[in-house]
Chains A and B, each alone.
Chain A
């Protein structure tokens, strides 16, 4: 059977951030599958982009409003050439997905990413969410949080994690990477993320407040914040308040092509977040061979393999863990690890081939039995 997929997403080819990257990876994986005939992507928002759209994929331009978007999606759904699967890229688009599913008879594949699925939505959205035949969650944590409020067979909720791009690789010459960013001779802590007020949970402020304590034990320390957004001013104010202007650098938005060098310039990638669905940046840093510290109360446990690939720290232990890792940067998960070993482990579990295989397995549900319970009883 050939599968036609209608993908309702926030953005894909043209968007920025982890979720649009995830959508691009997923759609690209579909396009490479023999069982997939066509993927029609309807982005809700998407900036103009030079990114090329893969074979078998048609991405329509974004609609101006939610109403227009919905009407266009419904129009696609009722065309003669029906879709076999409605992919819903965000929980809050599920009401539309349910309407389309009712009109077209196509089962729904819902993707849940992170905090949008961690707490119970309105009763209506929950009811819609429970109509999904297959749910893929970006991490075990998100899956668990989703199942706290969704009354749905847990065996229909699969984990489909982020993957990491091939451009993220180690380079033995970390010194030149530091030189490129003017960080020569420094011990560098790095965070890469949007600086959005809605994403305070990332934990930049916790690192800034802890810097004096860490600097008591570690000389030449500098904290590099890459990314931009409406929280930047607040953080800059905090840096001034703490009198840390000489020790915190705001790099602004880093182009994708320059990100690998940025990661390599860091001694530690640290983001003590409490709201990551998964945290693709952790994979990127690890693939570049940079040791990682993450929070221990969200989805970061997955990219860090429950502490075997990086350090999962609670807020209180953060300065201790940073100091420990700076003192012995290659000692992770109880054993010494080289840059290449970190990359190999990361790619072994989260590489493109693994992701493509997982997408294939998930899509096979619909190929075998596109009905209310698509899981093949092998």
Chain B
């Protein structure tokens, strides 16, 4: 896990790269890579590539980056881990390639020399990379299919600047701070800024599963090389196992394979452990993979003692079941307030989540860990969210009413006329008829934080109109369904994976983990795993349940975990925001947010946004 930086003065009129700017961008990411730093400059001064390193595989200087090929034609700066690097290395060595390190970075380098960008298909893992191809005089930017690792670029028309973080690009001092209306509107609609937009107009994310080539013409349009919907669409249902026991075994084999791959490391690997199924299964499978005892950690809060949200008791039981070295880290309200400025500083883009991950990552880092496994992604893979149940039902029921002209508008009007929101009815109810008849619309209703018609009260009329115009909201959601993944389950899985998981959970895991120089690995977010599960899911034999995950480890975890109501990895943020005056108080200025019954996440969104533009 690292930070990459680059500047490419691609335009003939652009001045040579300012080396100090590259250093400013790179070193704004020091926490991403505290172990080493490197930089490389082209002879003509038009290109600079930098790297901050968190050493995890091959800790020696031989694996330092940017890494230059032996013929000096390819230069690579890479963030992430390639879990199948050993197998790829073997095949490359058989092909006559000679290695000078044990790193996964060098595997990518050789693979590119052999196959060009087609090599992306061979990589299993999480990655964001910047690669300079001297022969083609072009730079390749690429990201893994789920978008686990971030990669941003800013094109001012003369030069492209690349970085692992938005704030790092700004720290270079040459990127415009003009805000992006689409990014702002998207944040309030989803609770995270939807890629490829960011909070800033000039900065864009390289879309997940895509690559961009930059040559003397500037950046190309992103080319999608792999996406979640394509994996579902291509799933061969006829090859799916037929009966329940075969399904169980196939899922277990696929999960164990993924967990084994995610344990590749030259430093100890720990795991976050909550009271939920996903993290418990990951810890159980880690033991099955032969990696134990490992360090596990969970969070506990005084506010949750003897409460359903308390994770520590059940997590402790699971830890005993699997014999982990377990610690429970207690976080008080005072700790939260003391750390809040640091959390907001680390938050690369506005988010309504990630505070829990920041805290548990701190605990892991304090324990001396550099790598932790997380159970993120289980809900998207095995249908753990209510959206898997609700959205197909809504679409079936509302397909016809939503197409009746003016009916949706009339319902919205009636909702406002009766003042139903003041009676505690969710604003989403007003848009039910309009939106619930399509997958994109129903997803907006299920996941939306604010509804589009609420935004003028937050952003103002002009910014809302401009933001929604640029965002093209329903089309934006609908992009995750191209190509059509085939089944209702897969459609919801694609939307959850491409929007909520990517823009919220994985991005939060990145900044919150990196704030403590901790690499968070997600064995349940893996395209090989998805490729194995998708035929079962599309055949309808998986069911909409995580039961199959419960039975995956050889040693089952306790019934308390399996039967516990889903709560997520919860932090008492609502109580902390309400109990005292703090730097998140900006929401109190907005009348609609001060109403009783207003969800805390809506208040937090406004407060975080206010902080980010202050």
Could you list which residues of chain A lie within 8 angstroms of chain B, going by C-beta atoms?
137, 139-140, 143-144, 147-148, 151, 153-155, 157-159, 161, 302, 305-306, 308, 349-350, 354, 357-358, 361-362, 364-365, 373, 375-378
Interchain nearest-CB distance for A106 vs B (Å): 20
What are 9 A-B interface contacts by the 8 Å CB criterion?
A140-B157, A151-B470, A155-B218, A158-B157, A158-B217, A349-B15, A358-B13, A377-B220, A378-B136
Least CB distance from B201 to A in Å reads: 6
Please measure, in the bound complex, the distance between the C-alpha atom of A362 and the C-alpha atom of B11, giving whole angstroms.
Answer: 12
CB distance from B134 to the nearest CB of A (A): 15
A361 to B223 CA separation, bound complex (whole angstroms): 20
Contact of B156 among A144, A358, A377 (CB under 8 A): A144
How many A-B Cβ pairs are below 8 Å?
70
Q: Is B349 an interface residue, CB under 8 A from the partner?
A: no
Residues of chain A within 8 A (CB-CB) of B218 are 155, 158
- Are B221 and A144 in contact (CB-based, < 8 A)? no
Q: How far is the CB of A139 from chain B (nearest CB, A)?
A: 8
Partner of A357, one of B12, B178, B470: B12
**B157 and A378 contact, CB distance less than 8 A:** no
Any chain A CB within 8 A of the CB of B325?
Answer: no
A143: B residues at CB distance < 8 A: 156-157
**A365–B221 Cα gap in the complex (Å)?**
12
The distance from the CB of A107 to the nearest CB of chain B, in whole angstroms, is 15
Chain B 1-40, CB-CB to A under 8 Å as 1, else 0, gives 0000000000111110000000000000000000000000
Query: Please, how many angstroms separate the alpha-carbon atoms of A154 and B219 in the complex?
Result: 9
| Residue numbers in A under 8 Å from B585 (CB-CB) | none
| Interchain CB contact under 8 A, B204 and A154 | yes
* Residues of chain A contacted by B15 (CB below 8 angstroms): 305-306, 308, 349
Q: Report B-chain residues with C-beta under 8 Å of the C-beta of A157.
A: 157
| Complex CA–CA separation, A358 to B136 (angstroms) | 18
Q: How far is the CA of A350 from the CA of B158 in the complex (A)?
A: 13
B482 interfacial by beta-carbon distance below 8 Å: no
A362 to B216, CA, bound (A): 10
- Given A144-B176, A148-B178, verify A361-B217 contact (CB < 8 Å): yes
Contact partners of B138 in chain A: CB under 8 A: 378
Query: Smallest CB–CB gap between B594 and chain A, Å?
Result: 33
Query: Is there a chain A Cβ closer than 8 Å to B434's Cβ?
Result: no
Contact B156 A354 (CB under 8 A): no
Contact residue among A151, A159, A364 (Cβ-Cβ distance under 8 Å from B13): A159
Q: How far is the CB of B299 from chain A (nearest CB, A)?
A: 41
Residues of A within 8 A of B215 (CB): 378
Chain B residues in 8 Å Cβ range of A159: 11, 13, 157-158
**If A144-B176, A354-B12 touch, does A155 touch B470 (CB 8 Å cutoff)?**
no
B-chain residues with CB within 8 Å of residue A362 when the two chains form the complex: 217
CA distance A158 to B159 in the complex (A): 11
CA of A155 to CA of B178 in the docked complex: distance in angstroms? Answer: 17
* A373→B178 CA distance, assembly (Å): 26
Q: Which 8 A-B pairs have the closest CB atoms?
A: A159-B157, A140-B157, A143-B157, A151-B470, A354-B12, A349-B13, A155-B219, A361-B217
Pair B12/A148 contact, Cβ less than 8 Å: no
Query: From residue A246, how far is it (CB to closest CB) to chain B in Å?
Result: 41
Closest to A158 in B: B218
The answer on a CB contact under 8 Å between A375 and B220 is: yes
Q: CA separation between A71 and B218, bound complex, in Å? A: 37
Contacts of B176 in A (CB 8 A): 144
